[in-house]
Amino acid sequence: MKAVGIVVEYNPFHNGHYYHVTQSKKITNADVVIAVMSGPFLQRGEPALVSKWHRAKMALKSGVDIVVELPYVFSTANAPLFAEGAIFLLGALQCEAFSFGSEDGKLEPFLNTADLIETHFDEYNELIKKFVSTGISYPQSLFYAYEQLKQKNNRVYLDLSKPNNILGYHYIVAAKKFDLPVQPVTIQRIQANYHDSINERSTIASATGIRKEIFQKGTVEIVRPYVPDATFQELTEWRHQYSRFVDWEAFWPLLKYAIMRHRPEHLTAFADVSEGIEYALIKHAKQSDTFTQLMSGIKSKRYTWTRLQRMLTHIYTGITKEELHQSKTPTYIRLLGMTKKGQAYLSERKKNLELPLISRVAQAKDPMLQIDIRASEMYALGVEHFSNKKIDGDYKLPPIRL
């Protein structure tokens, strides 16, 4: 059996994701689609709209055959580490190809860009340092350095101001770094870009636009045209059971407590918290009644919104710098769910998998997995706080089987 791998968050799974899944399978002639999916906390430093189990079920009912969890260490990391963790897992699962959505839609610019930066790596880093020294944020410095570097050549390069292009570039680099025998494939995003609001004349909308509508209108019905039936069903069931969807505002009282219970010097032990920000975090946490107020108080040129959210994610979950950086690659494959076809693929490949396949966490003592479990418990605690209802934890829930 042949597998194509995809890297996803599904926050939530929508019609654009369905298009990506079906096209990936068609273009690569794959028998199964394997999704490496972020767990309860996501790459931009925020909690997922609904639990990883609900999101996995959306995917399995909509064309994905196997869903495995991207460990917290990588799912909450910057783009290079996020990509490395995900692509490493797809390689360990013996995928023949991996497919990613992009604004560009053609593979050649990705390969050219990877070659350009690899060839001129030292010069690229010097340019980054130069821009950072002027007070420009690190992500912007990366972009300016790249724009200056590519002027030296006449080949077709990527627009690295686009979020999916950025991730796609890092997927390519990660596959090269690990020397994986996987064929990259890119599929152009259609009708809606990453940050676009909902367009009533289309049935394709971004996950950002869908979440925005749900929170603003307070109803799931408004997004029904933009998601498969399975997603609508899971969202409806979640809303009925837990009364609201998850964002940082929902977790704000617990996050505020997590910040204020520490002395400033203790906050710097948490992952991604850089020295100097700890005083502002405590000061503005005391003054703020909402998460948005906190972010408005601490946002600056030095710290991007995403970087600040990652800091706050680690403070909330209690993950320290020391814990986060114990391993540079995933050390296991955590199975969240599978279809019958997915189960057949795993039965065929199980003996040759390069990492242990974990379906039950009770016996596993892996330190990286313990971080995942803690993150899931903190997510569940936040949901219980606003809904007064419990979510079954990782120790109770077996992989989903369809």
With contact defined as beta carbons under 8 Å apart, do 14 and 207 qualify?
A: yes
- The tally of CA atoms less than 13 A away on the side-chain side of residue 93 is 38
14 is in an annotated binding site: yes
190 is in an annotated binding site: yes
Q: Which residues contact 216 (CB under 8 A, 6 or more apart)?
A: none
8 is in an annotated binding site: yes
Structure tokens at 202: 């289309």
With contact defined as beta carbons under 8 Å apart, do 85 and 323 qualify?
A: no
CA distance 65 to 336: 11
With contact defined as beta carbons under 8 Å apart, do 28 and 183 qualify?
A: yes
Structure tokens at 118: 């690899």
Name residue, tokens 């039936």: 229
195 is in an annotated binding site: no
10 is in an annotated binding site: yes
Sequential DSSP letters for 28-77 = HT-SEEEEEEE-SB-TTS-B-SS-HHHHHHHHHTTT--EEEEEPHHHHTS
11 is in an annotated binding site: yes
Cis peptide before 12 (omega within 30 of 0): yes
Structure tokens at 246: 């998850």
CA distance 282 to 130: 32
20 is in an annotated binding site: yes
206: how many CB neighbours lie within 10 A of its CB? 21
Give, to the nearest 10 degrees, the angle between helix 367-387 and helix 305-317. 90
CA distance 216 to 143: 33
17 is in an annotated binding site: yes
200 is in an annotated binding site: no
Query: Between vectors from CA 307 to CA 381 and to CA 220, what angle results, nearest 5°?
Result: 50
Query: Between vectors from CA 338 to CA 28 and to CA 359, what angle results, nearest 5°?
Result: 125
DSSP, res 320: B
189 is in an annotated binding site: yes
Put residue 286 in one of left, alpha, beta given phi > 0 → left and psi -120 to 50 → alpha: alpha
Residues tagged in the binding site annotation: 7-20, 101, 164, 189-190
**Where is the binding site for ATP, in residues?**
7-20, 101, 164, 189-190
